[in-house]
Copies of this chain bind each other. A is one copy, B any other.
Amino acid sequence: MLNKITPDILQLFKQAINEDRLVSDPAVLADYAHDETEDLHYSPDLIALPETAEEVAALLKICHEHSIPVTPRGAGTGLSGGSLAIYGGLMIAMQRMNKIIAIDERNLQATVEPGVVTEELINLAATKDLLYPVDPASKGSCFIGGNISHGSGGPRVVKYGTIREYVLNLQVALPTGELIWTGANTLKYASGYNLTQLFIGSEGTLGIICKAVLKLIPKPKQDLLLFASFASNEEACEAVGAIFRKGIIPSAVEFMERKGVEWVISYDQVQFNLLPEMEAFLLIELDGNNLDELMLQCEEVNQVLEEKNCLDVLLADTANQKETLWRLRRTMPVSVKANSIYKEEDTVVPRATLPTLIRGIKAIGTRYGFESICYGHAGDGNLHVNIIKGEMTEHDWHHKLKEGIKEIFDLTIELGGTISGEHGIGLVQKEYMPLKYSALHLDLMRGIKKVFDPKGILNPGKIF
């Protein structure tokens, strides 16, 4: 049973945190009632803006004692409704805990607060010739705490591994009000259950991240960017596997459908000569320290692309050209958003089954009467499926479509994949969890939740 915030409890909050960082102004509450997921709105009753881990812990202790629902919030850029206060209560917004505490150049580690904007860390690390390779599309606004909580990815996962490889240690405030460090500041760790890894991707349901120690790596000195056009989605996807079989691991292999590129061109006025026969595109980045070596790799990639019937390959010559090509991919989510009501699914499958997945999605769309725009991290088999409302009736959109999404997920799972690769389950995917997991499996997850949060106060109603 979760409770409402009474005046007495509000008094307790005021003892835990300075009053001016407790916000109940309805305009502000409305701002924090949504994230980037569809058109969902759930207002918290109160927002706290802590500045220290101890304040977060103190707030949680009060909420635990009085069974007040708590929703942690990063930058609100989530795509699964993970930061929506669906039971009202207290929202703990992490934006003031936004310090890069240290960049340790001797150990190649960074210690950050959760409210650091991802790109700020990337940029600061770059000034020291270091790379933090986790770069979600929203890197200019999303927070590192949210990235960790959602297991967020980005283009470079394909070469550098997921965020799991870069989070070494976390300070978390538990739902019961204690602070712990989950692991150690080390590259290896075999000392009991790995709570660091358990927290990554747990979507703020097990604790609130207050600090993170992250691994950095030497920043590659050079990169090349190729943009390849194909006559079909299948040929583009086939080329992806072939590049890896050639022994090359690009630092990004992004896939885009024609329609997505068209929408970006009209939304963002990107200059790109889109020929009628071009149906699918790959953006391929190669990085390393030696430009000659990269040019050799580039030739090999070109050979593979030719073998796979590539129509045309652009090699970006200047920083400007690179920026334009990346914009084609990075602006795609907002272009879709600006163009239509849509729902985004975050399918992921073994890389080589991508053509089957895309064909299946299109066939399901035909049966259920929806169009989709697909793009994503082809090197990881991670395809973002944007389902466009278009001409669908409200009834079909809200009811019939669910069956179509179920079919997409059934296909994803049948191919060895899962229902989210990097966006998380949050609120909007949780009804699909039983497609992937048995009741027993879900009970194990619920059991873990209960160990950390016996009263179920933290981010209630998410994941399961």
> What is the interface of chain A, defined by CB distance below 8 A to chain B?
104-109, 129, 150-153, 157-158, 161-162, 164-165, 174, 178, 180, 183-195, 197-198, 200-202, 217-221, 241, 244-249, 288-290, 292-293, 296-297, 346, 348-353, 377, 380-382, 413, 416-425, 429, 433, 436-438, 440-442, 444-445, 447-452, 463-464
Contacts and interface: CB of A to CB of B under 8 A. Distances in A.
B444 A350 contact: no
A294 to B, nearest CB: 9
Contacts of A353: 107
B194 A421 contact: no
Which of A158, A164, A452 counts the most chain B CB atoms within 10 A? Answer: A164
A180 B442 CA distance: 11
A429 B192 CA distance: 10
B346 A184 contact: no
A237 to B, nearest CB: 11
17 contacts: A104-B350, A107-B241, A151-B188, A162-B187, A185-B350, A188-B380, A189-B418, A192-B425, A192-B433, A192-B437, A193-B445, A197-B197, A217-B249, A218-B245, A218-B246, A447-B451, A451-B451
Nearest to A80: B190
B380 A151 contact: no
A186 B350 contact: yes
A433 to B, nearest CB: 7
B188 A425 contact: no
B463 A151 contact: no
Contact of A192 (B186, B197, B438, B463): B463
Given A108-B351, A197-B164, A192 B445 contact: yes
Nearest to A300: B289
A429 to B, nearest CB: 8
Closest 7 CB pairs of A and B: A447-B451, A106-B352, A184-B418, A185-B416, A188-B421, A151-B190, A197-B197
A15 B335 CA distance: 62
A222 to B, nearest CB: 11
Contact of A183 (B349, B418, B451): B418
Contact of A248 (B184, B218, B429): B218
A451 B448 CA distance: 7
Contacts of A422: 188, 190
A445 B182 CA distance: 11
Contact of A165 (B164, B221, B246, B293): B164
Which of A185, A380, A444 counts the most chain B CB atoms within 10 A? Answer: A444
